[in-house]
Amino acid sequence: MFAIGHFALGYLAGKGSSKALKTRINLPLVIVLSVIPDIDLLLEIWNPTVFMHRGLTHSLITFTVVLIPFLIAYGRQAIPYYAVLLSHSLIGDFFTGGVGLFWPISQKWFGNYWMPIGGLADVIAELVLFAIATAIMFKAGDLQKLFRPKNHNLLLFIGFGAVLGPLLSPGGFESVLPTLLVPPSLFWLIVFAYSMFIELWSKSQKPPPGRKTSENLN
Ligand SMILES: [Zn+2]
């Protein structure tokens, strides 16, 4: 699955579980975590044995080991983010070629191949997920929050890279980006770029520390 589908699944999993647990989610963090398992596409260039694509960074064992310290520190607030990671491997990649769910304990591949990445079924699924998740994001007011200056907007450079990579890479990483996924890719590129810009702009407008503004002189 491409970033378009993973963003949507991650948001739906994170938002749904945060509602059930009555916690809040940080949308830029959800977006980043929804695609972070695919960092192995870059890491496998460095070490293809350890970072075989859809192995270590897609494993439920890795996700659970990473979850434990956050669960201790943040309690149930950490669980929606775990759900985001699970959505990547158990839904997105499971149905588009499978994953090594229990790597490194087992090298067995879990999933199915009837919906290959970049194929028509995958593209339709990603477009439908994009439409549903973006509509909910807008209705819930989460999308609009990306347009307010916040430090964590800058995390979106990872989401930006996950969308830009397949757009710029002629041979693709896992597969060539289907033309139908170009419009949603451009949508996210613009949203992420604007979100990061608004944060950087607001930072540049703040007076240096210690300098009194006309407001605090009054
Ligand atoms: Zn993946």
The rounded Å distance from CA 73 to ligand 1 centre is: 27
Q: Among residues 21, 174, 29, 167, which one has the least CA distance to residue 92?
A: 174
The rounded Å distance from CA 16 to ligand 1 centre is: 21
Query: What single-letter amino acid sits at 125?
Result: A
The rounded Å distance from CA 90 to ligand 1 centre is: 10
Taking the C-alpha atoms of residue 86 and residue 80, their distance in angstroms, rounded to an integer, is: 10
The rounded Å distance from CA 187 to ligand 1 centre is: 21
Mean pLDDT by 10 residues, the chain (218 residues): 96 97 96 95 82 91 96 96 97 92 90 86 96 97 95 96 88 78 97 97 79 52
- Would you state the pLDDT for residue 189? 98
- Would you state the pLDDT for residue 113? 79
The rounded Å distance from CA 58 to ligand 1 centre is: 7
User: What residues contact 186, with CB distance under 8 A and at least 6 apart?
Assistant: none
Do residues 37 and 61 make contact, with C-beta atoms less than 8 angstroms apart?
Answer: no
The rounded Å distance from CA 116 to ligand 1 centre is: 13
Do residues 88 and 37 make contact, with C-beta atoms less than 8 angstroms apart?
Answer: yes
The rounded Å distance from CA 113 to ligand 1 centre is: 14
- Would you state the pLDDT for residue 170? 66
- Would you state the pLDDT for residue 211? 60
Helix axes 27-35, 156-168, angle to 10 degrees: 40
Query: What single-letter amino acid sits at 194?
Result: Y
The b/e string for 35-48 (b: 16+ C-beta within 10 A; e otherwise) is bbbbebbebbeeee
- Would you state the pLDDT for residue 135? 98
